[in-house]
């Protein structure tokens, strides 16, 4: 056997096998590289969004500043508490009276006792006092109060009644005129309420005088018990 030919023939096949191996390895490596590249491209394409598929990022919400308000009308005025006027205090009770006209007392208060009437010529009670005074003499309020009545009585003539509060009233009879003072007039002690007129028919025999009575809660009392 020709060893040289054999070696030569074996060498050819070795070389050929080596070439084939290299070529095959190269193909395999190229295919593997292509597969890896394709896989990487796929991953990249799947993971990286396109321009049209960009991730939406919400914009921050901006809170608008409050508008500046000008020429604002002032708030409506609050209703003010209405002050309630306090009722005037009741006057203190009258405990004393002034003599309504200057003069002598010619007839006393009799209470329940009968006295003789010079005019009527009979016995009767005398409910007040008679104060001698000339015609036209000024008659004054015995205390402060309000004129409650002005009228003409058949027996006592022109009469004025003043209320002084607390159930106290004073009566002035045989006056000159009923037009001198009006009902509702407020008077103070000493104010003029009329003049002596001699109009009391039931006492005309006693001459010009003032018939003066004091009533407390509708009951006649002696005026001298209160006159200073």
The CB-based long-range contact list for 41-50 (8 Å cut-off, 24+ gap) reads none
Instruction: Give pLDDT, residue 205.
Output: 96
Q: 192 pairs with which residues across the strands?
A: 140
Partner residues linked to 107 by β-bridges: 130
Question: In this structure, is residue 10 part of a structural domain?
Answer: no
What is the secondary structure of the chain as a DSSP string?
A: --HHHHHHHHHHHHHHHHHHHHHHHHHHHHHHHHHHHHHHHHHHHHHS--GGGPPP-PPPPPPPPPPPP-SPPPPPPPPPPPPPPPPPPPPPPP--B--SS-S-EEE---TTS-EEETTTTEEE---SEEEE--TT-EEE-SSSEEEEEEEEETTTEEEEEEEEETTEEEEEEEES-TTSS-TT-EE-TT-EEEEB----GGGGGG-SEEEEEEEETTEEE-GGGTB-
Cα–Cα distance list, 169 to 121, 157, 162 (Å): 29, 18, 6
The answer as to whether 116 is a domain residue is: yes
Domain-located, residue 171? yes
28 part of a folded domain: no
Domain total in the chain: 1
Per the rule left: phi > 0, alpha: psi between -120 and 50, beta: everything else, 121 is left
Asked if the structure places residue 221 within a domain, the reply is yes
Q: What is the CATH number of the domain that holds 125?
A: 2.70.70.10
Residue 81: both structure tokens together: 């508490």
* pTM for this prediction: 0.62
State the residue range of the domain holding 115: 105-225
Per-residue pLDDT of the chain (228 residues; tens, 9 = 90+): 444 454 455 555 666 666 656 666 565 556 555 654 565 555 445 544 454 444 454 555 555 565 555 555 566 665 565 555 566 566 688 999 999 999 999 999 999 999 999 999 999 999 999 999 999 999 999 999 999 999 999 999 999 999 999 999 999 999 999 999 999 999 999 999 999 999 999 999 999 999 999 999 999 999 999 998
**Which pLDDT belongs to residue 222?**
98
Domain-located, residue 179: yes
In a domain, 139, yes or no: yes
pLDDT recorded at residue 48: 46
User: Within a domain: residue 203?
Assistant: yes
**What is the reported pLDDT for 92?**
82
Q: What was the pLDDT predicted at 52?
A: 45
What is the model's pLDDT at position 217? Answer: 96
What pLDDT does residue 39 have? 59
């Amino acid at each position: 056997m020709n060893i040289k030919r054999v070696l030569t023939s074996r060498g050819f096949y070795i070389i050929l096998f080596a070439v084939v191996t290299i070529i095959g390895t190269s193909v395999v490596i190229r295919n593997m590289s292509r597969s890896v590249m394709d896989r990487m491209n796929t991953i990249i394409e799947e993971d990286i969004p396109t321009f049209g598929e960009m991730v939406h990022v919400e914009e921050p919400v901006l809170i608008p500043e409050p508008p500046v308000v000008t020429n604002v009308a002032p708030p409506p005025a609050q209703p003010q508490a209405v002050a309630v006027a306090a009722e005037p205090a009741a006057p203190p009770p009258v405990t004393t009276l002034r003599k309504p006209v200057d003069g002598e007392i010619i007839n006393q208060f009799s209470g329940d006792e009968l006295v003789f009437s010079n005019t009527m010529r009979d016995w009767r009670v005398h409910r007040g006092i008679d104060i001698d005074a000339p015609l036209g003499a000024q008659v004054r309020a015995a205390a402060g109060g309000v004129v409650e009545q002005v009228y003409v009585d058949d027996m006592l003539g022109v009469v004025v009644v003043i209320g002084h509060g607390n159930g106290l009233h004073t009566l002035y009879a045989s006056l000159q005129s009923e037009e001198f003072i009006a009902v509702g007039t407020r008077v103070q002690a000493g104010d003029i309420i009329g003049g002596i007129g001699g109009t009391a028919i039931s006492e005309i025999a006693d001459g010009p005088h003032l018939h003066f009575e004091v009533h407390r809660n509708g009951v006649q009392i002696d005026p001298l018990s209160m006159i200073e």
